[in-house]
Structure 1
Amino acid sequence: MNTAALRAATPGARHARHFNAAGSALPSEAVLGTVIEHLRLEARVGGYEAAVIAAERSEEVYSLAARMLGADPADIALTESATVAWHRALDAFPLKAGDRILASASSYVSSALHLIELRKSKGIEVEVLPCAADGTVDREALADALRRPAALVTVAHVPTSSGLIEPAAEIAAQCRAAGVPLLLDATQSLGQLPLDVTSGDIIVGTGRKFLRGPRGTGLLYVSPAMRELMRPSHPDVRGAVWQSDDGYELAAGARRFETWETAHALRLGLGTALREALDLTIEEINRRTTALADRLRSDLAATPGVRLTDPAAAGGAIVTFVVDGEKPVDTVRRLRAAGVHLVSVPASHGRWDLGRRGLDAVVRASVHVYNDDSDVDALTGALPAKAGKGAPALISSGARADTIVIGAGVHGSSAAWHLAQRGVSVVHLDRFPEGHTEGSSHGHTRMIRRAYPNPIWDDLVDRAYLAWSELSAAAGVPLLTTTGGLYARPASDGSPGLRGPDVVTVPSSRFAGLRLGSEFTAVFDPAAGVLDAAATMRSLRELGLAHGVDRRAGVTVESWSADGDGVTVRTADGVLRADRLVVSAGPWTGSLVPELRDLLKVVRIVNIFIGASDPAKLAPPALGPFSVEVPGVGLLYGLPAFDGSPVKIGLDHGPADGLGPQTPVTAAEAGELLALARRFLPAADGDVVDSVACRYTMAPRNRFAVGALPDTPQVLVAAACSGHGFKFGPAIGAALADLALGKQRPDLDFLAPGAL
């Protein structure tokens, strides 16, 4: 299994260490593209018309789901979730007062609640089966229970609260021998464990977990024999034909349990996810995820202060644990700040299981094929801070730190890391939650180049390339890929173009993927390349935390003031004091630094990503980073198809931004860019498959403001902006650390805040 390729084809793997496949796994680029493509089709031709166009592909989803379970397509109903599938099955089951339902202690909360309600409203007897020593259903107790008449047995193959794996096939055999149907909840197993219809007469599952499909999808398997016994309590036009004034006929297959209205785009996305899983094979997925989860279990068991909570019969892709002295919800919050995403499961989600074992809650980590050993290292490496390994104490409200950094974009995060690794205590504040898209540092890729119009930038550009090399080494991942870049302007334009070390004038046809006519002249920068922005932000966060940065997301700074030689910072959560303050708040810098308020203008910038019938024509070496000065339009820039992401383009200007909540890219904005793509990128012959909006903070003459404020030298500002600041991120961070520690940086005098 090519894990690197699977990670590259999974957009979310670039942004965080994702250990929540048991909650909602990361979809692939193909699944995402399928959903978006159909939504755009609906927008163009209408929902009913789009459904007709996609009818053959929609029908194939049933066949794919049937292959997954070794069933016939007629046995499959598609639903909105596993819980909906469960409800449809139970509501259709012929239950009457006094009937017995035998349920495993591993039952999911929604299933248990439904059973409890059936007990109260219909007089159904619900018996929770005892567990064996290994945590699974006690098969002897099950055999005893089946000696009395029972209407149904229901078992969760894998619970929400642990990595327990019930022996579904053996339980099914016992039920079959007793003539009692088995409803198997395969919500947490479908897609990670081999499973077929011999394991249940009724099987429910979801698309959003290990199948890696969209949320809002699920499936229901009902055997032909069970369909003879079950009738939907709420028949729908999808599953029945109204034949007379008071008569109707149910569909022959399991589709009798469906409803007419559904999210066709999500269903098609589920089909893509099913196809990808079948291509990999469930056996190979199980082998890979089990091996990685076993390594995680071993590493967690060896981490002081961490206690595994899985029963003996646990296995597969799910691992649960607790950290001594810390509530699971706090562990999850702390790890999320470190870029490691897991969930806590409270006892209220698995009362028959966690309550029985005396656990109030657990932390659940679940791996998938896009995870690798570096993810496991990041998770276990982030735990000792609360598990007894000499973590720095968090700075309380009113206490004094060495430095406070405001803003967790690329410059603020770089500064926090550089300061912390030099032994400085750092409180790092950001007004938004981790992973937000309100500022300027989100997204997958950015451009880097040596070509600049003015040689005054050359030294800082050299420092930037060196800083990216150092950051990549510290992070253990390559963050810069050199491709070469092409920068064009009208041949009739007499103004100086870009220049720099090794930058040469070349024919405008230098990139096969970029169509430029004779009216343009171009220069080629061999050092230009693509920065992995998502991995950069994740790495800076992890490195900062590893060096003791006290990182606090979702904290709004209300004001700051000079405090002798230091500063006092007032936040919505309390007051902090420090010797130094670094303000790197992106679009909000002007509101925190009054002397820059009228100089920094915030504008809205949009990018679109465009599909292609032949993506190689838009990837290096056919295409690298580029820009084109388009007469009457402005500067069009773009990045090649890279690391699984389609070609990306944007315009280097936009309307004023009022700093309200970020809004999606509009059809008009996307249409303007798509028209330019059709003109300059002939191989970009697909639709817009994704879009993103961000904010540029523009300064006079496209300069930055980096350095101490003249009247309060203990306060440093970093408005490294104007649309070309990301490439300098690590270098600006190092410069801010130098300045905060009293080192002179005359090379930055041309960027001093007073020089704007």
Structure 2
Amino acid sequence: METPLGGDEFAPRTTYLNTSKCGLLPRRTVAAVTALAEGLAAGTTGGSGSFAVVDRARGGFARLAGVGPDRVAVGSSVAVHVGLVASSLPPGAEVLFVEGDFGSLITPFAVRGDLKTRFVPLDDLADAVRPGTALVAFSSVQSADGRVADMAAVRGAAAAHGARTLLDATQSAGWLPLDAGAYDYTVTGGFKFLMCPRGASFLTVTEEAQESLVPVHAGWIAAEDLGDPYGPAVRLAGTARRYDEPPGFLAYHGAERSLALLGEIGVDAVHAHATALAARFRDGLVRLGHRPVPGDSAVVAVPGLGGRQAELAAAGVVVSAPAGNLRAAFHLYNSAADVDRALDVLS
């Protein structure tokens, strides 16, 4: 029987299958946030938080993403990071999206009003890349139904037509191995499968893509030399740190601990664990006469079954119901008993 990973780091009081909406915080993460908050209340921290801790979080994400920390920028949200990329495109540039993808990946481009936006079904994404496509922006895993993109095919098509790629790994980083260096840009909200406090988000930029990405929200922390915060920066950081937002220290003090835990367990182990539980849930749903979205994702969706969410919640089983789907997401802290409990309620 699949037992949770992470030892005594987690203590859920529900059958929690809602990581696609928000991940559980490990005990060590809660302790780090609490310690900083108490220090701020007592006036004993000497500041609002530690940049060294932020850099450790940067490094922790970099290791999970398969890139060096110099390719990672920290920030507060996916939408801010996407907006940075959107602002760098010339008027009239074509951006290709997946129909029904998450709004934070799409809206920053749409509000410009001077870009060409095109939407296609997920399965047609690679074939839809054409000469003149400037950027393909897509999620590795669809938020509404857990479908996994054919990322290799999309990368190949983009390379063949000279298009850049922007991958949103928010619904996959932490359970699905990520090679961020294979994309011009990746964005990842940390509060789902990375189990960070909300307010920690990560942008990766290749060296080549950095040449055309303007740091439009650069503050004093984007400077190469942080010793003098007054006046315009003499020189911006040569790394992706030039795109940093001022970090929310409470979020990043927690993120450093959560990312360390994931590093200790390993994404490969989490992937095997979570997808096995998801497969068990899909098999059980089929036995009950339901038709879940097929695939090997850690996120399971059943179209049209979202109306059962309230019934499950009343029984202590926490799921989501995006776009009318019943959505359950499995992570390292889940077990076979969680799967069977959800199936028992649905039966």
Superposed, 1:661-676 pairs within 5 Å as none
The 3-state SS of whatever aligns with 2:73 is strand
User: Is the contact made by 2:18 and 2:318 (CA closer than 8 Å) also made in structure 1?
Assistant: yes
Instruction: Judge conservation of contact 1:41–1:50 (CA < 8 Å) in 2.
Output: no
Could you tell me how far apart the structure 1 residues matched to 2:185 and 2:82 are?
A: 9
- Which of 70, 95, 100 is the aligned partner of 1:101? 95
Name the counterpart of 2:120. 129
Q: Is the CA contact (8 Å cut-off) linking 1:79 and 1:85 kept in structure 2?
A: yes
Q: Distance in 2 between matches of 1:223 and 1:377?
A: 43
| 2:25/2:196 contact within 8 Å kept | yes
SS at match of 1:169: helix
Matches of 2:127 and 2:4, distance apart in 1:
46
CA distance in 2, matches of 1:337, 1:221: 40
**Aligned partners of 1:374, 1:2: CA distance in 2, in Å?**
8
Q: Is the contact made by 1:286 and 1:316 (CA closer than 8 Å) also made in structure 2?
A: no
Alignment partners' CA distance in 1, 2:209 and 2:303: 42
Counterparts of 1:9 and 1:234, CA distance in 2: 37
When normalised by structure 1's length, the TM-score is: 0.43
Deviation per CA, 1:285-343: give whole Å up to 9, x if none. 00000000000011011114x332x2x4x32210001466xxx2x41111111000001
Q: C-alpha separation between the residues in 1 aligned to 2:44 and 2:81?
A: 28
Q: Cα gap change, 1:381/1:246 in structure 2, threshold over 3 Å: closer, same or farther?
A: closer
Which residue of the partner structure matches residue 268 of structure 2? 283
In structure 1, distance between residues paired with 2:191 and 2:229: 37
Match of 1:152, SS state, is strand
Q: Quick check: 1:164 aligned with 2:160?
A: no
* Alignment correspondent of 2:62: 66
Aligned counterparts of 1:263 and 1:69: Cα–Cα separation in 2: 21
The 2-side partners of 1:264 and 1:255 are apart by: 16
Change (3 A) 1:196 1:383: same
Q: Distance in 2 between matches of 1:243 and 1:39?
A: 25
Give 1:19 shift.
0.4
Compute the displacement of 1:188 (Å).
0.4
1:307 paired to 2:328: no
Q: Are the structure 2 counterparts of residues 246 and 58 from structure 1 closer, same or farther at C-alpha, using a change threshold of 3 Å?
A: closer
| AA at the equivalent of 1:94 | L
Find the residue that maps to 2:321 and give its secondary structure.
strand
Q: Figure out how many residues of one structure are paired with residues of the other and give that number.
A: 344
CA distance in 2, matches of 1:10, 1:247: 43
- Residue aligned with 2:235, SS: strand
Question: Which structure: larger Rg?
Answer: 1
Q: 1:364 to 1:56 in 2, by over 3 A?
A: same
Q: In 2, distance between residues paired with 1:247 and 1:240? A: 6
Q: Aligned runs of 1:70-85 on 2, under 5 Å?
A: 70-85=66-81
Distance 1:259 1:275 in 2: 22
C-alpha deviation, 1:186, in angstroms: 0.6
* 1:116 Cα deviation from its structure 2 partner: 2.5
SS at match of 1:77: strand
C-alpha distance in 2 between matches for 1:237 and 1:383:
53
What amino acid does structure 1 have at the position aligned with 2:23? A
Which residues of 2 match residues 512-551 of structure 1 at below 5 A?
none
Superposed counterparts of 1:211-230, under 5 Å:
211-230=194-213
Aligned pair in 2 of structure 1 residues 280, 245: CA closer, same or farther (>3 Å)? closer
Aligned residue runs from structure 1 range 400-411, under 5 A: none
- Specify whether residues 5 and 101 from structure 1 end up closer, same or farther in structure 2 by C-alpha distance, changes over 3 A only: closer
> Tell me, what secondary structure is at the counterpart of 1:155?
strand
Confirm or deny that 1:178 pairs with 2:156.
no
Task: Indicate the percent of aligned positions where both proteins have the same amino acid.
Answer: 24
Deviation at 1:370?
1.2
Residue 313 of structure 2 is aligned to residue 336 of structure 1: yes
Q: SS of the residue aligned with 1:112?
A: helix
1:115 partnered with 2:109: yes
- What secondary structure is seen at the aligned counterpart in 2 of 1:250? coil
- Which sections of structure 1, spanning at least 5 residues, go unmatched? 347-360, 385-756
Residue 264 of structure 1 pairs with residue 249 of structure 2: yes
- 2:6 aligns to what? 6
CA distance in 1, matches of 2:27, 2:74: 23
Counterpart code for 1:307: R
Instruction: Give the conservation status (yes or no) of the 8 Å contact 1:163–1:318.
Output: yes
The answer on 1:368 being equivalent to 2:331 is yes
Shift of 1:60: 1.4
The DSSP-based 3-state class of the residue aligned with 1:175 is helix
1:317 and 2:301 aligned:
no
Give TM-score scaled by structure 2 length.
0.91
Check the 8 A contact 1:192/1:316 in 2, yes or no. no
Paired AA for residue 334 in structure 1: E
8 A contact 2:181–2:206 mirrored in 1? no
Q: RCO greater where, 1 or 2, for CA within 8 Å and sep 6 or more?
A: 2
Distance 2:52 2:181 in 1: 29
Asked if the contact 2:190–2:197 (Cα under 8 Å) also holds between the matched residues in 1, the reply is yes
Deviation at residue 372 of structure 1 after TM alignment: 1.0
Q: Distance in 2 between matches of 1:272 and 1:173?
A: 36
- State the distance in 1 between where 2:51 and 2:126 align: 45
> Is contact 2:94–2:116 with CA below 8 Å preserved after alignment?
yes
Aligned to 2:138: 155
Question: Conserved in 2, the CA contact under 8 Å of 1:106 and 1:156?
Answer: no
Corresponding residue for 1:38? Answer: 36
Residues 439-475 of structure 1 deviation map (CA, whole Å, 9 limit, x = unaligned): xxxxxxxxxxxxxxxxxxxxxxxxxxxxxxxxxxxxx
Report the alpha carbon displacement of residue 243 of structure 1 after superposing the two structures with TM: 9.9
**Distance across 2 between alignment mates of 1:80 and 1:365:** 26
Aligned to 1:396: none
1:17 aligns with 2:3: no
Higher strand share: 1
Question: Are positions 1:250 and 2:215 aligned together?
Answer: no
More helix by share: 2
Contact 2:4/2:334, CA 8 A, preserved across alignment: no
Residues 77 and 255, structure 1, Cα contact 8 Å, conserved in 2? yes
Cα distance in 2, alignment partners of residues 263 and 223 from structure 1: 24
Q: Hey, what's the Cα distance between the residues in 2 that align with 1:50 and 1:236?
A: 17
Distance 1:62 1:307 in 2: 40
Mapped contact 1:307–1:323 kept (Cα < 8 A): no
Worse-matched range after superposition: 314-323 or 150-159: 314-323
User: 1: CA distance between counterparts of 2:230 and 2:7?
Assistant: 55
- Unmatched segments (≥5 aa) in structure 2: none
| CA distance 1:129–1:198, shift in 2 (3 Å) | farther
Deviation per CA, 1:67-92, whole angstroms, max 9, x where unpaired?
Answer: 1111111111111122222223323x
Q: Match of 1:376, as an amino acid?
A: V
Code of the residue aligned with 1:214 in structure 2: it is: P
Corresponding residue SS for 2:166: strand
Whether the aligned pair in 2 keeps the contact of 1:106 and 1:158 (CA below 8 Å) is no
d(CA) in 1 for partners of 2:231, 2:191: 40
